[in-house]
Structure 1
Amino acid sequence: MEAATVLVTGATGFVGRRLTAALTDAGVTVRAMTRRPDEYDGPGTAVAGDVGDPESLATALAGVDVAVYLVHSLDQADFEARDAEAARNFARAAADAGVRQIVYLGGLGADDTDLSPHLRSRREVESLLGSAGVPVTVLRAAIVVGHGGISWELTRQLVKNLPAMVVPKWTETRTQPIALDDVVRYLVGVIGDERTFDQVYEIGGPEAMTYLDMLRVASEVASGRSVPIISVPVLTPRLSSYWLALVTDVDVTTGRNLIESMGTEVVVEDGHRIRDVVPGDPLPYAEAVRRALAERLAEGLGV
C-alpha cells in the first residue's frame, strides 16, 4: 500500500469503521467522511461530506490521494437512482481534486446473468465512479460475515430466534460468503497499488455454499445444534421480506432489496485473482461466524 492520504466514505458503517482502524494502524493518514463529523469518535480525522452534496465533496477530497467508496442507499425505495447520482457526484469531485484512485466495494454476480436491482445498481456504480477519468479498483463481494453487517445479522437473528424454519426456495441458491477481516485486508492491500488501477477483483471465502448451508453452519457454531429447516417454493421476495421483518429487526425495504439478490448465484469465477496482489488464504465460513459472534459478545451483547 502506497498512499499519502486516504478518504474513507461511509466511515461509520459496517466496513468503513473497521477499514479506518486498519489503515490508521498501518500508519496511513485517514480522513473519515461523515455527514456528522462532530459526532465521529473513530480513528482518523473526521471530515464533513455528503455524496448528495457536490460542494461538500470538493472540501472532503481536497488533497486526497485515494478515496474508498463505501456508500449505498439500500434502505430507500429509490436506491438505484440515489446511488447513481451519488456516484456521478463523487466521480466528478474526485477528478477535480486530482485523486489518483477510487476503491469500490461492489457485489458479486456474473455480467451475463439477470441481475437483481441491488446487484444491477452496484454494477452501475462501478461504471459511474470511473466516468470522470479517475482509475477505479473494484472488489466484488457476496455476503460479508462480521458483527454489524446487515446480511450477517439476518442469518444470526434467524438461527437465534427460530427453533425451526420454513424457508423460501431461493435459500438453495449458491453464494460465497467472506469474512469481514478478509474484506478489510483486501481493501487495504489494493489501496495505492497501481497494478490494481482499473481492475475488477472477485473476493470470497474458500467455500461456495447455499444460504441453507450458511444457516445450518451458523446455528451449529452459535449453539452447537442444527436448526431444522424445510424449504418451500411459495414465498416470493415480497412475502419473504415481510417474513424477515416479523422474525428479525431488519426493515421491510432493506430486506426485500437484499432478498431479490439472493435468487442469483454469486460465486467467485476469476480464480481468486486478488491473491496475486494480496497473498493469503481467506478464512473459512465457520471461523468468520465465530469471529462475528465473539465481537458481538465483546460488546456485551448476546449471541
Structure 2
Amino acid sequence: MTRTVTVTGASGFVGSHLCPALARAGFAVRAMTRRPDRYGGVGEAVHGDVHDPQSLETALAGADSAYYLVHSLASSDFERKDARAARNFGRAAAAAGLDQIVYLGGLGDDSDRLSPHLRSRREVERLLAGGGVPVTTVRAAVIVGAGGISWEITRQLVDHLPMMITPAWTKTRTQPIALDDVVRYLVGLLGRPEARGRTFEIGGPDVLRYVDMLRRAAAVQGKRIPMMNVPLLTPRLSSAWLAFVTDVDQRTARNLIDSMTNEMVVRDPSIEDVVPGRPIGYDEAVRRALGLTGS
C-alpha cells in the first residue's frame, strides 16, 4: 500500500527537491502550500498554513506522515511565530493520526550557548512532539545547494568581493552538507520504525571553518580571494555588511551570523546505521550547486 506524505514548505529550498525524490521512491506526495494555484512542482498541491490550524486539518487528512520544513527566520519575532506554528502542527498531526513527523533542524551542541535561531529550532523539535506523534529530527549545518540562504551568502561573497574581511565568526568550525545528501537522508528516514522519536545529526565528510569554505568555493571557480582579518567586527556590523554585498536581508543575515558563532559539527554519526552511504565532499557539493557537474 502506497504511503501518503504531506510536505510543508514544498516550494522552498529543500522541499522543492524533496518532493520529486519522494515520488521517485514510490510515495504519494501532498505538497502543502499557502498558494496551491501557483504550485508547479511534484505532488498534489494542497492548501495549508502552519499558522492556521483549521487549514492543517485538510492538508493532513488521510496522510500517513509529514515533513516539517518551515521557519520564520526573516521575521523580527521568529521565535514566537515558529513556536506557535510548531504547536499547531503537532496537534493537527496527532488529530489526523499521523505516525511520524520528520523535521529538519540545526546542528549545535546543546551544552554550548546556542544562538536564538538554534534555540528556536530546539524548541520546535519539542513542540512538534507535544501532540504525541513521534518526531524524527534531522539536524544539519550549512546545506550546499542552489537557492539555500547560507550557500547563497557564500556564493555571492565569492562572486562580488575583490577582498574578504574575516570577522571572528568566520573562524568557527562547521560541517557543510550537500543538498543531495540532505534529501537522501530525509527520504531514507521516512517510515522507518527505528527512526521514530530519534534525533540524527548529518554532515558531509569535511569539517571546515567558514573562511575555508569561502576559499574552497572560490578555488572551485578558479578564483582566489585575499583575506583581511577584522576580529572586532561585531555581528551587527557583519550583518549590515552582508546585506550590503549580498541580496540577503539584514535581519536574516543577523540571525544566521549569530548562529555562526556556534560550532556546528556532527558528534553522533548514528544516521549511517539507518541510512548508509558515503556523503558528497564539499568541493563536489559546490560544483553541483554551481551547475558545474551533473548530480
The bucket for the TM-score relative to the shorter chain is over 0.9
Alpha-carbon deviations, 1:231-252, whole Å to 9, x = none?
2112111111100011000000
Equivalent in 251, 254, 269 of residue 252 of structure 2 = 254
Q: In the alignment, which residue of structure 2 is the partner of 1:23?
A: 22
| Cα distance, 1:53–1:273 mapped onto 2, change above 3 Å | same
Provide the C-alpha distance between the structure 1 equivalents of 2:23 and 2:276, rounded to a whole number of angstroms.
21
Read off the aligned partner of 1:184 and give its amino acid letter.
Answer: V
Provide the C-alpha distance between the structure 1 equivalents of 2:203 and 2:19, rounded to a whole number of angstroms.
21
Report the TM-score, using the length of structure 1 for normalisation. 0.95
Name the SS for the 2:11 alignment partner: coil
Q: In the alignment, which residue of structure 2 is the partner of 1:301?
A: none
Q: Which aligned pairs between 1:157-176 and structure 2 lie closer than 5 A?
A: 157-176=156-175
Deviation at 1:3, TM superposition (A): 6.3
Read off the aligned partner of 1:115 and give its amino acid letter.
Answer: L
Provide the C-alpha distance between the structure 2 equivalents of 1:231 and 1:159, rounded to a whole number of angstroms.
16
Provide the C-alpha distance between the structure 2 equivalents of 1:115 and 1:161, rounded to a whole number of angstroms.
31
Provide the C-alpha distance between the structure 2 equivalents of 1:231 and 1:96, rounded to a whole number of angstroms.
54
Report the TM-score, using the length of structure 2 for normalisation. 0.98
Provide the C-alpha distance between the structure 2 equivalents of 1:229 and 1:120, rounded to a whole number of angstroms.
31
Q: Structure 1 residue 154 and structure 2 residue 162: aligned?
A: no
Read off the aligned partner of 2:54 and give its amino acid letter.
Answer: E
8 Å contact from structure 1 (residues 237, 256) kept in 2: yes
8 Å contact from structure 1 (residues 47, 60) kept in 2: yes
Name the SS for the 1:126 alignment partner: helix
Read off the aligned partner of 1:276 and give its amino acid letter.
Answer: D
Provide the C-alpha distance between the structure 1 equivalents of 2:98 and 2:2, rounded to a whole number of angstroms.
11
Q: Structure 1 residue 11 and structure 2 residue 10: aligned?
A: yes
Name the SS for the 2:290 alignment partner: helix
Provide the C-alpha distance between the structure 1 equivalents of 2:251 and 2:51, rounded to a whole number of angstroms.
21
8 Å contact from structure 2 (residues 141, 203) kept in 1: yes
Q: In the alignment, which residue of structure 2 is the partner of 1:283?
A: 280
Alpha-carbon deviations, 1:176-197, whole Å to 9, x = none?
0000000000000000101100
In the TM superposition, structure 1's runs of 4+ consecutive aligned residues that sit over 6 Å from their partners are none
8 Å contact from structure 2 (residues 2, 26) kept in 1: no
8 Å contact from structure 1 (residues 3, 192) kept in 2: no
Q: Structure 1 residue 64 and structure 2 residue 75: aligned?
A: no
What percentage of aligned pairs have identical amino acids?
65
Query: What count of residue pairs does the alignment treat as equivalent?
Result: 294
Read off the aligned partner of 1:230 and give its amino acid letter.
Answer: M
- Unaligned runs of at least 5 residues, structure 2: none
Provide the C-alpha distance between the structure 2 equivalents of 1:27 and 1:269, rounded to a whole number of angstroms.
32
Read off the aligned partner of 1:288 and give its amino acid letter.
Answer: A
Q: In the alignment, which residue of structure 2 is the partner of 1:89?
A: 88
Q: Which aligned pairs between 1:14-163 and structure 2 lie closer than 5 A?
A: 14-163=13-162
8 Å contact from structure 1 (residues 75, 253) kept in 2: yes
Deviation at 1:97, TM superposition (A): 0.3
Provide the C-alpha distance between the structure 1 equivalents of 2:280 and 2:154, rounded to a whole number of angstroms.
18
Deviation at 1:226, TM superposition (A): 1.9
| Cα distance, 1:3–1:269 mapped onto 2, change above 3 Å | farther
Provide the C-alpha distance between the structure 2 equivalents of 1:65 and 1:226, rounded to a whole number of angstroms.
49
Q: Structure 1 residue 230 and structure 2 residue 215: aligned?
A: no
8 Å contact from structure 1 (residues 94, 134) kept in 2: yes
